């Protein structure tokens, strides 16, 4: 699909407004926050006012320092403001974590690369084939005839690396995104520093938790599915810092594996479940079945019940898919 007309309508809307509310999803990652920051910075260079809003939390080490740049609530409108609300890296107001009532009456624009989502938004630039939302922001800046500054390039590159698992999830035939990020490196982004930022900064507890979750892994369906779990007792003992990326990387490196599910049992009969796939098996479809969402190869949902119930339920659903 050609998105030129969508890009043009977003650029026109950015041009037509002077005040912006830039929102991402709750539990933000560097793609979401990086899109907000880079777009905000570019709008600032054009003499415009951008409020960066996020409900957090700020647990991930690579974004830990960014919290002071964001406001945890939606600031009130000032007299005469005709703002544009831009929702980034998700496609609905609910995903932002802000109550509906907190959002001012305004034109809304959605910029997202997730397939699941409503058709919410007056202006929509949604490209499920784009590896990161930051790449969509880069396209906007470049289509407007501008170039990212060194700082914007660094942030945009970090977002791209976050969502592609540092290039590990880039599909064949996708030279264009790589050409685009090479321009970020030319503008000052450091691949070496970005990798250190994404891979480092972890607590010993988080390393021990990885070991524990791997230890508990069980294979199902002739070794095509791996399931493991962690719970609140682990977090109390080792801290709740997660390194899902590394965990899934290790799980998906098991010979013959097609999918992984990690169950996180909360204190209150609720489990959150993360899914990964490395075949055509669409885990977002499974997540959606339980009221969650995500991408074909990475998705998540919340399920009620204890570890045992949730495992049984998952095995029933996966049994259909592995038929």
Residues near Mn ion (CB under 5 A)? 31, 89, 133, 163
133 versus 277: smaller Cβ distance to Mn ion: 133
Cα–Cα dist 319/281, whole Å: 12
Nearest approach, Cβ of 313 to Mn ion (angstroms)? 28
Nearer to Mn ion, 83 or 121 (CB): 121
> 206 vs 108, 166, 236, CA distance in Å?
39, 20, 12
Name the closest residue to Mn ion (Cβ). Answer: 31
Q: How far is the CB of 88 from Mn ion (least distance, A)?
A: 9
74/158 with CB nearer Mn ion: 158
How is the beta sheet containing 49-53 ordered, strand by strand? 49-53, 19-23, 84-88, 107-112, 123-126
| Distance in Å, CB of 130 to Mn ion, minimum | 9
Nearer to Mn ion, 96 or 133 (CB): 133
CB 135 → Mn ion: shortest distance, Å? 9
The residue among 186, 152, 180, 148 whose CA lies nearest residue 167 is 180
**Cα–Cα dist 280/283, whole Å:** 9
As measured in angstroms, the least distance from the Cβ of 40 to Mn ion is: 17
Supply the minimum distance, in Å, between the C-beta of residue 281 and Mn ion: 21
Between 24 and 83, name the residue whose CB sits nearer to Mn ion: 24
Complex with Mn ion: residue 10 or 227, whichever CB lies closer: 10
- The nearest distance, CB 311 to Mn ion, in angstroms, is 29
Nearer to Mn ion, 127 or 163 (CB): 163
């Amino acid at each position: 699909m050609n998105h030129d007309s969508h890009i043009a309508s977003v650029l026109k809307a950015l041009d037509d407004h002077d005040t912006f509310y830039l929102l991402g999803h709750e539990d933000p990652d560097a793609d979401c926050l990086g899109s907000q920051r880079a777009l905000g910075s570019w709008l600032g260079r054009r003499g415009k006012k951008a409020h960066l809003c996020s409900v957090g939390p700020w647990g991930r080490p690579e974004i830990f320092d960014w919290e002071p740049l964001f406001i945890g609530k939606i600031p009130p409108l000032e007299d005469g403001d005709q703002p544009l609300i831009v929702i980034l890296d998700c496609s609905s107001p609910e995903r932002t974590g802000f109550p509906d009532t907190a959002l001012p009456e305004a034109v809304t624009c959605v910029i997202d690369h997730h397939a699941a989502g409503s058709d919410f938004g007056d202006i929509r630039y949604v490209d499920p084939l784009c590896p990161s939302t930051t790449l969509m922001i880069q396209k906007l800046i470049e289509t407007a005839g501008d170039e990212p500054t060194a700082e914007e390039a660094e942030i945009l590159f970090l977002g791209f690396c976050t969502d592609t698992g540092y290039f590990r999830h880039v599909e064949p035939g996708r030279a264009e995104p790589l050409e685009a990020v090479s321009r970020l490196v030319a503008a000052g982004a450091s691949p070496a520093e970005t990798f250190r930022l994404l891979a480092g900064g972890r607590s010993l507890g988080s390393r021990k938790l990885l070991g524990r979750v791997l230890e508990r892994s069980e294979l199902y369906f002739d070794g095509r599915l791996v399931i493991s779990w962690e719970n609140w007792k682990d977090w109390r003992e080792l801290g709740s810092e997660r390194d899902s990326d590394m965990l899934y990387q290790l799980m998906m490196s098991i010979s013959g594996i097609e999918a992984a599910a990690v169950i996180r049992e909360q204190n209150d009969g609720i489990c959150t479940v993360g899914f990964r796939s490395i075949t055509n098996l669409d885990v977002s479809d499974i997540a959606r079945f339980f009221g969650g969402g995500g991408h074909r190869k990475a998705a998540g949902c919340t399920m009620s019940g204890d570890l045992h119930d949730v495992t049984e339920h998952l095995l029933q659903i996966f049994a259909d898919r592995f038929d």
